A and B are shown apart, each in its own frame.
Chain A
Amino acid sequence: MKKLLIAFAVLLFIALVIVTARGRISFGGKTEEADGEYFRLGTIVRLRLFGKDKKFLEGELERADAEIARLEALFSANAADSEVRRAGGEWVRVSPETYELLRRALEIAEETNGAFDPAIGRITGLWKIGTEEARVPGAEEIRAALLRCGYRNISLKEEDGARFIKLSKGARIDLGAIAKGRAADILAKKLCEDGVKSALIDLGGNLALVGAKPDGKAWRLGIQDPGKARGEYFGVVETSDGSVVTSGPYERFFEKEGVRYHHIFDPETGYPAKSEFSSVTVADRDSTKADALCTAFFVMGRARAEKYLEKHKEIAAIFLLDGENRILITDAARGLFTPSDKSFSLESIGKGKK
């Protein structure tokens, strides 16, 4: 009897140790959360920081919001006095942040053969989708604006440690397809350097992570089902310390005479891109790259995206085909993604012909 009792007690103790070791409970103090929502970067920003010291987290939250506001003032295509808007026909000195963002933007534009174009400002400025003044421009207006688009219209130079940008005559920068990603990267790095171990950064659906969840597990991030209400997802990406970005025509659009015009433009036509995809997601440690590639893949469409991915097998991407319950997934994304809606089929993309 005595032995049995002792054995029972020992077993229970071992069970307790296992439960504790898995991080389900913590004897090192309760996990605190500081949570804030802000209207920045033309969208809703939600920051959730986790740790032991609530006061420290709240301070970090405030500093993070101030940092987003600072970056917005540099990168915005809408604020008249932003660095990006001040760029013109002469060399203009810019901050290291703006320079670096443009350098990355040009790199990705080159790599995607212009499917992602940071100099598409004249086109977005004509359509004004997402604003009160959204309209369908005339074909001639679009033709004229297209002649002022193209990433090669942006020039960068460094001189004695100072950084400068210049645009070809009449060109205009719009970093709407990359700035949120870059802001997320800067923010995640800053939080990390300040000692935040666990955080979820949500810049209007562009998600970036610092570390794992407070319980040590990977974050579970849903991917919006374009056909359903906000928050309904067709699959889940599980990851830590990375970024998940999604683009789709369902988010910003307006309708005129029964036709829907969305906000992702084809730099070749100047019209909203006609794509086989209703949603494109990229998961990458680099949110800047993930953000720009989502847009580029959407613009490329299936055939061009497939070719690109055959050469870049490291990219974790998930595509939803428009009007069909078919998901296309790269090999690199297979280990991260699980469909949650059983009616969706899963097929490979970017494998290449054998």
Chain B
Amino acid sequence: MRRGDKIMAAVTAAGSIMMIAGALLQQSGGKSAEGSKTAEILVNGKREYVVPLNRPRELLIETPEGFNIIRIDRGGAAIISADCPDGACMRMGRITKEGSGAVCLPHRVVVRIKGAGRGKVDSVSW
């Protein structure tokens, strides 16, 4: 009996440890991957590109309404050039925070920062 009790207790303990570890891992959202943020580029609601933020590059997005040039560098993204009428997308600056996005309404282009970890806020009111 005594031996059975021990085994029982050991199994319960091991099981509980595994479940708690699993729960905490799920909670952290896989923090190990937090450094791997990406920029998602959507045109008219459709995802066209997903690019890592740690590799500098410039992307040309051409739509029927016009073009946007998106620069990716130093962990952020910015619309640096566009032939849209108001240029509001360029004024949105360089976005770095997870969940934030720069939008060109006339061209229907959205650049959004995505990450493996969870952002500190769920959305931003503007």
Contacts and interface: CB of A to CB of B under 8 A. Distances in A.
Same complex for A and B? Answer yes
Given A24-B27, A206-B125, A131 B85 contact: yes
B100 A229 contact: yes
Nearest to A36: B45
A109 to B, nearest CB: 23
A87 to B, nearest CB: 26
A220 interface: yes
A230 B101 contact: yes
Interface in B1-40: 2, 5-6, 9-10, 12-13, 16-17, 19-20, 22-24, 26-27
Q: Interface size for chain A: under 10, 10 to 19, 20 to 34, or 35 or more residues?
A: 35 or more
B125 A244 contact: yes
B81 interface: no
B88 A229 contact: no
A25 B17 contact: no
B124 A13 contact: no
B38 to A, nearest CB: 15
Interface string B83-113: 0011010001111110111110100101001
A141 interface: no
B80 to A, nearest CB: 13
B125 A281 contact: yes
Contact of A230 (B5, B12, B100): B100
A188 interface: no
B42 interface: yes
B104 to A, nearest CB: 10
B102 A230 contact: yes
A37 interface: yes
A213 B118 CA distance: 13
A237 B126 CA distance: 13
Contacts of A233: 121, 124
Interface stretch (A38-46, A146-154, A162-170): A38-46
B123 A224 contact: no
A15 interface: yes
A12 B20 contact: yes
A251 B126 contact: yes
B20 A19 contact: yes
B44 interface: yes
Q: Interface size for chain B: under 10, 10 to 19, 20 to 34, or 35 or more residues?
A: 35 or more
A72 B110 CA distance: 21
Nearest to B89: A230
A241 to B, nearest CB: 14
Given A12-B20, A37-B42, A229-B94, A207 B108 contact: no
A231 interface: yes
A222 B9 contact: no
Contact of B100 (A12, A204, A232): A232
Interface stretch (A3-11, A98-106, A345-353): A3-11
A42 B106 CA distance: 9
Interface string A221-259: 111100011111100110000001110100110100000
Contacts of B74: none
29 contacts: A5-B5, A5-B13, A6-B5, A8-B9, A12-B13, A12-B16, A19-B23, A38-B45, A39-B44, A43-B105, A44-B105, A44-B110, A131-B85, A131-B86, A132-B86, A205-B126, A222-B124, A223-B125, A229-B78, A229-B93, A229-B100, A230-B95, A230-B126, A231-B95, A232-B100, A244-B125, A246-B126, A251-B126, A252-B88
In the A-B complex, the 3 residue pairs with the closest CB atoms: A231-B100, A229-B93, A12-B16
